[in-house]
Structure 1
Amino acid sequence: MMWVLTVAGIGFRVIIVNIFIKSQYIFMKKIANFIILLSVLTLGGNKSFGQIIVRVRPARPAVVINRPPAPSPRHVWVDEDWQLSGGRYVWHGGYWTAPPRPGAFYVRGHWRNTRRGSIWVPGHWR
């Protein structure tokens, strides 16, 4: 920071290094970095709590589904699968739905094995 000091009409250039302002800047920068790191860790950790690990997979119900006719030629049948409801998996029947965009296809849900148990990966559009 450069300051011009005028004394009796004569200009003196005085270079003042303000250590207090620099230390404040460094301190605020460290706090900002800490807050960013904390928010990333907090938001990143929440994703892992969204799944329920199952030790014994539930049996698929022996239900006969009568598929109704398609509402239009554009609609696609989405097969029956498991859905998370109230902290447990429940069997959900199939249904007709329109793809979200042209050329999209539906990938069926499946169980993925982990070291701690099985996790249901819901079906989704690709």
Structure 2
Amino acid sequence: MPNTPNINLDLRLNGSSDPGWHNVVASNGQTTYGYRYTGGDDGAGGLEQTTGQGRDTAPLQLIADQRYQISGHNFFNDTNNQLSWNGNSGRAATIIDANSHVETAEYNVIVTDTGNGNCTIQCDPPIINR
């Protein structure tokens, strides 16, 4: 069974020009946030596995200020239904990859800023099954 390191997600209001940070505009269309993933298989929140090696479970933790809460997720290009989401405590979840088919998919974690009108921020690194 693969062993994926923990994934951490950090956020900053007003974005960041520091290395590894990605700036996005929130759902309110006005506020810029920066997000950065650490951990995972690539050190940047990405998952990469070889098919047939068993199911991969990747714990994800939100390490930003307490005002930020995980409020949802999406999977994109998961044509073989390899990905699933377990739990949502508001600060942690687990991404499960069945790891039985080759595909390049993405997961998207949606974070709500409860201190800024509950606007949402979409954060998305890749998942690759080779």
State the TM-score, normalized to the length of structure 2: 0.22
Higher strand share: 2
Higher relative contact order (CA 8 A, sep 6+): 2
Structure having the higher Rg:
1
TM-score w.r.t. the length of structure 1 is 0.22
Give the helix-richer structure, 1 or 2. 1
